[in-house]
Chains A and B, each alone.
Chain A
Amino acid sequence: MNFFKEAKSLVKVNIREYGMYIALFVIMLTFSILTDGLFMSSRNISNLLDATGYTAVLAVGMTLVIVIRHIDLSVGFAAGFMGAIAAILLTQGGVPVYLTIPIILVLGVVAGMFNGVLVASIGIPSFVASLAGMLIFRGALLRVTEKTGTINIKDEHFNAIGNGFIPSLADVGGLNLSSLILGVVVIALYIYFEVSKRRNKLNYQFEVVSGRIFALKLVFVSVIVAYITWIIAGYNGFSWTVIIMLAVVIVYHFLTTKTVLGRHIYAVGSNPEAAHLSGINVKKITYFVFGSMGMLAALSGILFTARLQSATTTAGTLFELDAIAAAYVGGVSSAGGVGKVTGSIIGAIVMASLTSGMNLLGVGISYQYMIRGGVLAAAVIFDVLTRKKRG
């Protein structure tokens, strides 16, 4: 097949998948031009990604919740409350960091499972169940911070989660060496996995894309990773927040695309009746998805609290809506069964880029909300239209 023809047909088939990346690219390019390159500066990108962290992990969990046709409104204040508990354990309880974090995560799982039980076993609509949870967590957050007000955290290790960077081994021409190494490792792993995937397919005698397209794809993705690494290494290198965010994405991407559990989640989302008749335990899947959401809410709370170095009385306000917006911008469908974890992360970055870019341009907060609302609507309209065309 002709090289360009093949490339064109690949783009055409995957337009919905690539649409988001293209949108992100256009947004970044536009802001770069409007700010004379300030937007793509090391410092700004580094800050942007750090500020996305706590929303991004929520968006990952929310993706699965929406995929199985539910919603969880409680995660914002759940994150705020879990963060406050972490602060109390660290300051008043004197519990060390390496114990505090697992305790909070387990607490998150328990809270999430409770929602799961309400939804799957008792049959309360998830909107109502999680709305109740939202009010309860909001109250609980106020209750635990009532006496002290803002709780300041002095623990350096904990605060590093939200503000720290991976240690630089050396400085290479103003670039952070360990971050460069990390970038190279990521590229090497990416190429290794892609090549072995292709080799496996060939072993099965399946059709694969032509060698030239494959090479082009490897080079293209490697260059992008290298570029991002170069930008980030130019400031303080990779932050712990970004590392955690990447880890969550990799784990959940693997879970949703490669495992039996992931398949069951999408099966329940696309047709619960058929899933039940196929021997899938719909209740258990619902418990799992809400449990994972709870855990990620706790993680989000830890990231946010560490970033502020304190637990505040209003932590978590509207996080849930940011996460839901990110998931929808990332291509999740409320009809169930459709949506990717990677898409939601891109969605979160798109929303954060808009905020950051408009801040640099000095756009008023009133316009910012309107523009972000417009982008959310546009993303969903695009999704609906492309789906209709293919269906």
Chain B
Amino acid sequence: MSDYLLEMHHITKAFPGVKALTDVSFKVARGEIHCLIGENGAGKSTLMKVLSGVYPHGTYMGDIVFDGAVQSFGKIGDSVRAGIAIIYQELALFPDLTVYENIFAGNEVRRGAVVDWNRTIVEAKRMLRKVKLNVHPDALVKDLGVGKQQLVEIAKALSKDVKLLILDEPTAALNENDSENLLALLRELKEQGITCIMISHKLKEVISIADKATVLRDGRTICTLDAAKGEIVESVIIKHMVGREIEDIYPKRANKTFGEPILEVRDWSAYDAQSGRHVAKNVNLQVRKGEIVGIAGLMGSGRTELALSLFGTPRSYRLRGEMRLNGAPVAFKHTSDAIGAGIAYVTEDRKGDGLFLIQDIKSNVTAANLRGISARGVINDNEEVKVANAYKDSLYVKAPSVEQIVGNLSGGNQQKVSLGKWLFVGPKLLILDEPTRGIDVGAKFEIYTIMNQLIAQGMSIIMISSELGEVLGMSDRVYVMAEGRIKGELQAVEADQEKIMQLATQ
């Protein structure tokens, strides 16, 4: 038998237009804890989806050797039967079912055609003891904290005789105590012979737990580090994570003079009653006129939530702190108040909550400012077409006409329509959330150029971005967020990828 439980050879996976993985090779020895590290979009999740059969055999190139045999998983069920269990960041539990029902969901203990509930409960208790979770199997999952839910997930995986346990950012939503417990459990499972792959953004955890760590960057394996050789230390990991050359696709701005502060936020906290935690905590920030302020951080660091809390979306947030616009304190009850005060928020999820996909370009462009094309509540159709055409031209939207349905446009053009909608409002402060996610380089350059034009016209911009190149290339100042807090503020001249990554992974 080979020393390696899992070997992935030369995996290449392409999506239409993007190569997500290029010739990735990756080996996991029996009984080790192997961490997978990389920036957002480096290909970690795609690699795990290839392994688990979410992307079935045949849709990628390369071989998977698991437990000594070449595998061709056609669906998730195949990898589960082989002994691979994945626990995603978004837990896949049924909140309204009990702990024991959850542990054996899809893997019921049967006696003939019916479920043997008594044995299920006995087995569930055994699994719960294994993961050291002291709850009654009758408890409903929704009544447990996130940390305990995670343990239920692990118990579920163990109940299927798992050989390889994969955890995707298991501690992202956990507090420090729960994180510690989880790591301790992983060490213990390792003693029992369970091999584990953990994807994590928190380098401290990686350093404390990993036997080996593989760094992915831009869909390629960069290196595998070995703890036994003393290679798993922060500086080495960060160097490999960000070692990419930054292409110079960022148009320069000639005039860099900043005016008065337009937005000041002091001691700003947003408590989300739904998830029961602070999505933003004691945030202080300032944006001056004519400035592009970058907010860097990894996914889930609270950047979007902070922006939404400033934009007057109540959702279930309880807000505390002070927000000043042009020196005057403001409090928004509804997004319309924020828009009226001169703030615009271009969402990160243009398809989900940015655009009206079934409507045409002109209706989307004017949706947030119908007053601008109407008199006494009646819309002037011709004026609307004129306005939409103007934005179509100035934002380089490629479409035959403004009557084109937005859902049929490419990502880059959709993003420009989304931007056009907010420019028509005439904001003083534009919040861009991941402005270039999922769009090609040409469209990116166009959006950067537009940003510079807007600044020249006297606007201020907050740019939230996971792309370090973009943050460094466009911002005048950078705030780095992690766990809902601002972990640091860097001037453009002093910022570099290592510094930002160091703050973001604290």
**Residues of chain A at the chain B interface (Cβ within 8 Å):** 200-201, 203-204, 206, 258-261, 263-264, 266-267, 270-271, 273-281, 337-338, 390-391
Contacts and interface: CB of A to CB of B under 8 A. Distances in A.
Interface in B361-402: 363, 366-368, 370-371, 374, 377-379, 381-382, 385-386
Interface stretch (B23-31, B242-250, B334-342, B454-462): B334-342
A261 B363 CA distance: 13
A279 B336 contact: yes
B334 A281 contact: yes
A53 to B, nearest CB: 28
B368 A391 contact: no
Contacts of B339: 278-279
Interface in B318-357: 334-336, 338-340, 345, 347, 352-357
Contacts of B386: 204
B177 to A, nearest CB: 34
B40 interface: no
Given A273-B352, A274-B354, A280 B336 contact: yes
Given A273-B353, A278-B367, A279-B339, A260 B358 contact: no
Nearest to A260: B370
The 5 lowest CB-CB distance pairs between A and B, nearest first, are A273-B353, A279-B336, A278-B368, A279-B339, A270-B356
A270 B359 contact: yes
Given A258-B378, A279-B336, 15 more contacts: A201-B382, A203-B382, A204-B385, A259-B378, A260-B374, A261-B377, A263-B366, A263-B370, A264-B370, A266-B363, A270-B358, A276-B313, A279-B334, A280-B367, A337-B356
Contact of A277 (B345, B357, B377): B345
Contacts of A281: 334, 336
A266 B370 CA distance: 13
A245 B407 CA distance: 36
Given A200-B382, A204-B382, A277-B345, A267 B356 contact: yes
Contacts of B385: 204, 206
Interface residues on B, range: 35 or more
Contacts, number: 87
B341 to A, nearest CB: 11
11 contacts: A200-B382, A206-B382, A259-B377, A259-B378, A260-B370, A260-B371, A266-B359, A267-B356, A278-B339, A280-B336, A338-B358
B219 to A, nearest CB: 31
A266 to B, nearest CB: 7
A280 B366 CA distance: 12
Contacts of B357: 270-271
A149 B177 CA distance: 72
Contacts of A261: 377
A263 B363 contact: yes
B419 to A, nearest CB: 13
Contacts of A201: 382
Contacts of B345: 277
B408 interface: yes
B379 A337 contact: no
A278 B359 contact: no
A277 B334 contact: no
A381 B180 CA distance: 56
Contacts of B340: 279
A337 B354 contact: no
A337 B358 contact: yes
A121 to B, nearest CB: 13
B391 to A, nearest CB: 15
A338 B371 CA distance: 23
A112 to B, nearest CB: 21
Contact of A271 (B334, B355, B379): B355
Q: Which of B340, B345, B377 has the most CB of A within 10 A?
A: B377
A284 to B, nearest CB: 10
B217 interface: no
Nearest to B373: A260
B421 interface: yes
A267 B367 contact: yes
B408 A391 contact: yes
Contacts of B311: 277
Nearest to B374: A260
B121 to A, nearest CB: 34
A263 B367 contact: yes
A278 B381 CA distance: 20
Nearest to A336: B358
A100 B422 CA distance: 48
Contacts of B378: 258-260
B382 A337 contact: no
Contacts of B363: 263, 266-267
Contacts of B407: 391
B356 A271 contact: yes
A261 B376 CA distance: 11
Contact of B353 (A271, A280, A338): A271
A275 B335 CA distance: 10
Contacts of B358: 270, 337-338
Interface string B232-260: 00000000000000000000000000000
Contacts of A273: 352-353
A260 B363 CA distance: 11
Contacts of A279: 334-336, 338-340, 368
A264 B336 CA distance: 13
B313 A337 contact: no
A338 B313 CA distance: 26
A278 B382 contact: no
A206 B334 CA distance: 37
Nearest to B368: A278
Nearest to B345: A277
